[in-house]
Amino acid sequence: MPTLMWFRSDLRVADNTALWHARRDASSENASVVAVYTITPEQWAAHDMAPVKADLILRTLRELSAELATLNIPLRIITVPRFADVPSALLKLAREVRARAVFFNKEYEINEVRRDEAMTEALANEEISTHAFDDQTVVPPGVLRTGEGRWYTVFTPFKKCWIKHLESEGIPEVLPKPKKQEPIKIKSDEVPSRIKGFEPWPRPELWPAGERAAMKRLSRFAERSIASYKDQRDFPAIDGTSTLSHHLSIGSISPRQCLHAALEANRNKLDGPSPGATHWISELVWREFYRHLMAAYPRLCMGRAFKPETERLRWRDDPEGFDAWRDGRTGVPIVDAAMRALLHTGWMHNRLRMIVAMYLTKDLLIDWHLGERHFMQHLVDGDLAQNNGGWQWSASTGTDAAPYFRIFNPISQSRKFDADGTFIRRWVPELADLDNEMIHDPSELPLLLRSTLKYPAPIVDRAMVKERVMQAFQAIKG
Ligand SMILES: Cc1cc2nc3c(=O)[nH]c(=O)nc-3n(C[C@H](O)[C@H](O)[C@H](O)COP(=O)(O)OP(=O)(O)OC[C@H]3O[C@@H](n4cnc5c(N)ncnc54)[C@H](O)[C@@H]3O)c2cc1C
């Protein structure tokens, strides 16, 4: 009797904990593994999944199916509207292939947890066992606790504990690809070429799919850029970061594979001689931290602020300001360049994510939920935990350890991180001829010259921004 391996956000064959155990368990029983993936278009739309991400998933499934075929594991595809429809659909498949067990890697978001509970119950009624594994992080959510047994809520102590834990317990190994099984009669389903409600993404070449592409990108980053990561990671015009977030978000690479590559560049130390590799590990820990928070505080999945008192903040109702931000027409070149790049590529550099999120929530004083949603609807790496964490950090409703609230000046950020305006020139061509000084703030140009540019004046007066946001935060104090 076969074992079902249910793929979700772990679309790879190598270092896949549930797949590895499924194969081992099946072979000890002289049985085989059948893989399954569930497409839930209405649920994906309700979760604001971007078409670019849906497209990446389909292309990755094709790669996965081909990888699994080399192991004689067929990949079945189930399409049902929502998570609520998944338990009965899986049960039907389990009956059809006469499966006795379902293996899967855990997802920690609340709707996913509820779906899995319902599925486990439905299968248990028919004596089909379920086996869930922690795989999405190097250290599973819930393992690291403060001295008082509480979940960490601040990054730096979390990171210290993460390092201490791995130094004492050992770093988890990367699991090999499972062994090939004997051919079986069950055939793979064709991966659909499109999903209802999701437009095909016009530029798939930007995001090569599958675990081979992911490993290639990781190797290239480890060889060429990890050493200089600390110095180059903040400059959007430089290809100085790994651009692996989309692979991590759908699991075409594992965090352990990433960590081992960084350790290799860091003499096997988590906090070692290479500042670049050490810093990159720290970013992987941010990812783990936000996953850990999501598991600890399910309310974060429900749109609630991490700091409850900030739910009283009086955000401005400004649909025109929001539209200008969304379309890259705010009159602040670095913000507009970043927002236009997002719409065109489906990705944004981390420094720019912080700048535009601060701009929306502090300069325009617009509710972070609107920005969070727009990001999810357009990011190839859209991921509830990281996106929510990043937005709440930027809006000062989240876990930032800075006292009170933090605000960036987008023009100073632009001068610092895009000094010669290379990034702005690429995405805001109407400013391409300005010099390296004026390109950051064309509102400083003499009026006559400014009127010749086809570029909007700033939609908000920076002189009053700080005062306005200070007052808003002051009003909720106590
Ligand atoms: C407002 C806002 C929204 C964000 N939304 C997302 C999102 O939806 N999905 C997403 O994956 N990341 C998100 N991030 C985090 C970060 O911007 C991206 O992970 C990063 O830009 C991806 O580029 P990279 O793969 O080259 O990262 P690298 O710099 O090479 O870092 C390696 C990996 O570490 C993780 N990482 C890096 N920086 C962060 C961070 N600040 N927080 C959490 N994890 C991090 C990512 O998995 C990343 O792939 C957001 C950040 C902000 C400020």
Q: Please tell me the predicted confidence (pLDDT) of residue 28.
A: 86
| CATH classification number, 136-173+211-296, choose in 1.25.40.80, 3.30.930.10, 1.10.10.10, 3.40.50.1000 | 1.25.40.80
Give yes or no for residue 245 CB within 6 A of ligand 1. Answer: yes
Which residue CA neighbors atom 5 of ligand 1 most closely? Answer: 387
Angle of helix 350-358 versus helix 410-417 axis, rounded to 10: 160
Atom of ligand 1 nearest to the CA of 387: 5
Pocket test for ligand 1, best of 49, 109, 245, 359 (most atoms within 8 A of CB): 245
| Within this chain, domains 136-173+211-296 and 308-475 share the same CATH topology | no
Find the 369 Cα to ligand 1 centroid distance in Å. 18
**What CATH architecture is 3-134?**
3-Layer(aba) Sandwich (3.40)
pLDDT per 10-residue tile (average), the chain, 478 residues: 96 98 91 97 98 98 98 98 98 96 97 97 95 98 96 96 97 96 96 94 97 98 97 97 98 98 97 96 98 96 94 97 98 98 98 98 98 98 98 92 81 98 98 97 92 94 92 88
Which residue matches tokens 């072979």?
27
Q: Annotated active-site positions, please?
A: 283, 286, 315, 350, 368, 391
Q: What is the pLDDT of residue 266?
A: 96
Best mutation site among 350, 378, 399, 400 for ligand 1 pocket (most ligand atoms within 8 Å of CB): 350
Instruction: Give the start-to-end residue ranges of the domains of the chain.
Output: 3-134, 136-173+211-296, 308-475
Q: Which residue pairs, CB below 8 angstroms and at least 24 apart, start in 406-412?
A: 406/358, 407/358, 407/362, 407/465, 407/466, 407/469, 408/354, 408/355, 408/358, 408/359, 408/362, 409/462, 410/332, 410/334, 410/335, 410/355, 410/358, 410/359, 410/363, 411/332, 411/334, 411/440, 411/441, 411/462
For ligand 1, atom 40, name the residue with the nearest CA. Answer: 286
* Residue 286 in contact with ligand 1 by CB distance below 6 A: yes
Q: How far is the CA of 289 from the centre of ligand 1 (A)?
A: 12
- CA–centroid distance, 350 to ligand 1, in Å, is 6
In this structure, the residue with its CA closest to atom 24 of ligand 1 is: 243
The fold adopted by the segment(s) 308-475 is: DNA Cyclobutane Dipyrimidine Photolyase, subunit A; domain 3 (1.10.579)
pLDDT at 403: 65
Task: State in Å: Cα 143 to ligand 1 middle.
Answer: 23
